[in-house]
Chain A
Amino acid sequence: MRAVAVIGGSLAGLAAARALREHGFDGRVIVVGDEERLPYDRPPLSKEFLAGKIGVEDLALTTDTDADLDLDWHLGVPAAGLDVRGRSVVLASGRRIEVDGVVLATGARARPFPGARLAGVHTLRSLDDAVALRDELLAGGRLVVIGAGFIGAEVASTARDLGVEVTVIEADPLPLGGVLGPELGAACTALHEDNGVRLISGTPVTGLVGTDRVQGVRLAGGRSEPADVVVVGIGALPNIEWLAGSGVDHDHRGVWTDAGGATNIPQVVAAGDCTFSYCPYAGVDLRQEHWTNAIQQPAAAVESLLGLPVAAARPSAPYFWSDQYGARLQFAGHRLPDDAVEIIEGDLGSRRFVAGYRRRGELVAVFAMNQPKLFGKWRRQLVAPALAELS
């Protein structure tokens, strides 16, 4: 291979480009990104950056040593098509880049609220999103957050710190119940009311109120909640539409890959938020939209691409963290609805604890609130059930 295109200029794309060089690939590496920026870190966008505590320069993911990677950056234009037979990537500008290998790392985008676009309604995924939202939050007023997931909760927490009056509305009666289970979901969502943020759960939002600018959200049952600013945090969609007709297996859930990031097309691998891959901790295929996955999966994908043994044969557990209202939440593994949950360190009321999830007696997931060190200890003891069954 003489030229590899990495499609996606964020964390997974950068990790893939670094992995190519670390494995000795000395051909051309072209990185295509739809934003005009070099890769930046997204987790602070809902926290320190939104709060104005850090600036754009603090978000940079590239370092001085990355200049040695000799990457050929194509920024500001998204990829529009993959021509497998012609061994080329076509950009939205019409430009065609001929390559021998491709890493798909196009990530995901925020799921928009359906219907008309009104001023004052935001999603939070990109740096531009965060800047736009920050400008409006600094003006104070009333914020309604649609969705009590981690992004919604982090925005609510940051806005509250900025002195904004915040209401969080969640369609699910048990916010975070799907990820953490009902008890621990409740322990997390209690942080809202502890900190003066109103949580309305079990109530879907049916529409937005306003003509040009949003004035509120309409709830199931007919009543409305007034709002000066609305943040929509209802999940993400993989950026896969551009692969239509390419022959790469994918659907609305993402690009299908094996554990090593290989797709059905030789010399085309995928990594990060755009992938739909088997997770031995879950026992099923899923999309892992987590920072850790975006930094780990590219290494395996690049090994697959270069025909090297894939080190991901013994995968680490899915992991994510969230900082809200001064609390650090950490989760590793994957919870299924019938897993047994128990508090293994501390207690719920103290807001400092570690909880373990067991499946047939095996520790398959662990969640911690304000216990980073003990979380590190228990995380090491997780077993991947699907791998355990094989051995």
Chain B
Amino acid sequence: MILVGRPEDVPPGDAVRIEAGGGSGLPIAVFNVDGEFLAIDDTCTHQDASLADGWVEGCTVECPLHAACFDLRTGMPSGPPAKTPVRTHEVVVADGLVYVRVAESVEAAA
């Protein structure tokens, strides 16, 4: 598991980007949706943009570049231009700290 930080490091409605290391090594974005932490791959599947920079509304993040939207729980895109889901990752809060368990693949994460 990868340590994200303390819960207060990710304010509600906001996100932080962490380097995943190992596995795919792709960065991961961890979102705080009304106190619940959700993690997905940080990189939009449509084109290289950081989803941690995206606008969060409810349980959806909008890519800051082309406005593709992804469901933070499932990683599924809700419409064009993105067609491929982002991987979701399990978030564990333990001992007052937030961790991410990096998924191996989209299938494994779903």
Contact = CB atoms under 8 A, between A and B. Distances in A.
Contacts of B83: 63, 65
Contact of B80 (A15, A41, A330, A377): A15
Contacts of A18: 80
A373 B81 CA distance: 19
B67 interface: yes
Contacts of A372: 49-50, 53-54, 64-65
B5 to A, nearest CB: 19
A295 B47 CA distance: 14
B80 A295 contact: yes
A247 interface: no
Contacts of B65: 321, 372
B27 to A, nearest CB: 15
Contacts of A98: none
Interface in B64-101: 64-67, 80-81, 83-84
A376 B64 contact: yes
Main secondary structure of the interface of A (DSSP, over half): helix
Nearest to B15: A373
A357 interface: no
Contacts of B53: 372-373
Contact of A63 (B47, B50, B64, B84): B84
Given A41-B47, A48-B48, A380-B55, A375 B80 contact: no
A201 interface: no
A291 interface: yes
A295 B64 contact: no
Contacts of A377: 55
Interface residues of A, number: 20
A373 B48 contact: no
A206 interface: no
Nearest to B50: A372
B62 interface: yes
Contacts of B54: 372-373, 376
A224 interface: no
A126 interface: no
B66 A291 contact: yes
Contacts of A43: 47
Give the interface centre of B49, B54, B55 by most chain A CB atoms within 10 Å. B55
Given A41-B47, A63-B83, A373 B55 contact: yes
A319 B80 CA distance: 15
25 contacts: A15-B80, A18-B80, A63-B84, A65-B83, A291-B66, A292-B66, A292-B67, A295-B66, A295-B80, A319-B67, A321-B65, A372-B49, A372-B50, A372-B53, A372-B54, A372-B64, A372-B65, A373-B53, A373-B55, A373-B64, A375-B64, A376-B55, A376-B62, A376-B64, A380-B55
Task: Kindly list the 3 A-B residue pairs having the minimum CB-CB distance in the complex, ordered from nearest.
Answer: A376-B55, A372-B64, A372-B53
Interface of B: 47-50, 53-55, 62, 64-67, 80-81, 83-84
Interface of A: 15, 18, 41, 43-44, 48, 63, 65, 291-292, 295, 319, 321, 330, 372-373, 375-377, 380
Given A372-B50, A372-B53, 14 more contacts: A15-B80, A18-B80, A41-B47, A65-B83, A291-B66, A295-B81, A372-B54, A373-B53, A373-B54, A373-B55, A376-B54, A376-B55, A376-B64, A377-B55
